[in-house]
Amino acid sequence: MILILNHKFLPHRKRIQTRRGITTFGDAIWADPISSYFFWKNDTDWTTMALCTAGTVMYKYDEWTTTWNSIKTWLSEFEADGVTRTRWSFAVYLNKVYMCNGVDAYAEYDWTTYTTFWSQPKCRYLRYMADSIYWAWEDTNPSTVYATTAWAANGQTLNANDIKVWWDELWRINWMLDLWNVILIFKNKKIYIHFNINLNKSYSIDAW
């Protein structure tokens, strides 16, 4: 018997690989371009979840029907300028997805229900590290980083701790990244490094 494999090849490691390409993932979302996407695998039962936003709707992917189903409508499609599309940031804590975009209310999705938390700051960047969730860039406080308490019961209360990142308050936070056991906080002119959940100290590690 001869087995013919199309679009496969053997590299120098002698392992069968596929050629790179583009394939369809689920049915098309025709109404609006997809502006944000998030994929995650549950660490208890290994089930997967894919979320995306397009226009004013957030969708969840159904692997069985290969369709995108709406889980939340009437979201903000654009920033205040009416041109820039909102971008969502996601983090997983205790197998629930938390999300923010700086315009709509901070929210949680537990695989079934989308829940909003209107009392929390509307920040733009979300990161999980060391059993806490960090959140940055609220429009009215663009130099502030918020965080849950350590080993929080859930990720619903983000502003339990906060710190003003250094004294250059004219420069807003424009990105945040978790790296090993530290949080890197990026601003227009500097990069800061933050070490612990008490949020009582941040150090500049680069400036130009």
CATH of the domain at 144: 2.130.10.10
Asked, for residue 202, whether it belongs to a domain, the answer is: yes
More confident residue, 59 or 149: 59
Cα→Cα distances 186→16, 127, 174, Å:
41, 13, 6
In a domain, residue 156? The reply is yes
Number of CB atoms found within 10 A of residue 120's CB: 20
Q: Is residue 72 part of a domain?
A: no
Residue 53 phi, psi dihedral angles, 5° rounding: -120, 140
Domain extent at residue 202:
82-207
Per the model's pLDDT, the better-predicted residue between 13 and 178 turns out to be 178
pLDDT band at 12 (very low <50, low <70, confident <90, very high): low
Query: Into how many domains does the chain fold?
Result: 1
Report pLDDT digits (tens) over 127-148: 888 788 888 888 888 888 888 8
Backbone angles phi, psi at 117, to 5 degrees: -125, 90
The pLDDT-based confidence of 197 (bands split at 50, 70, 90) is: low
In a domain, 25, yes or no: no
> Is 51 among the domain residues?
no
Domain-embedded: residue 28 = no
* Residue 53, in any domain of the structure: no
Decide if 54 is inside a domain: no
208 versus 41: the higher-pLDDT residue is: 41
Sheet of strand 182-187: strand arrangement: 173-179, 182-187, 190-194, 202-207
Q: How far apart are CA 41 and CA 85, in angstroms?
A: 27
pLDDT for 190 equals 77
For residue 87, pLDDT beyond 90: yes
| Contact between residue 95 and residue 151 where contact means Cβ atoms under 8 Å apart | no
- Cα 157 off chain centre by: 17
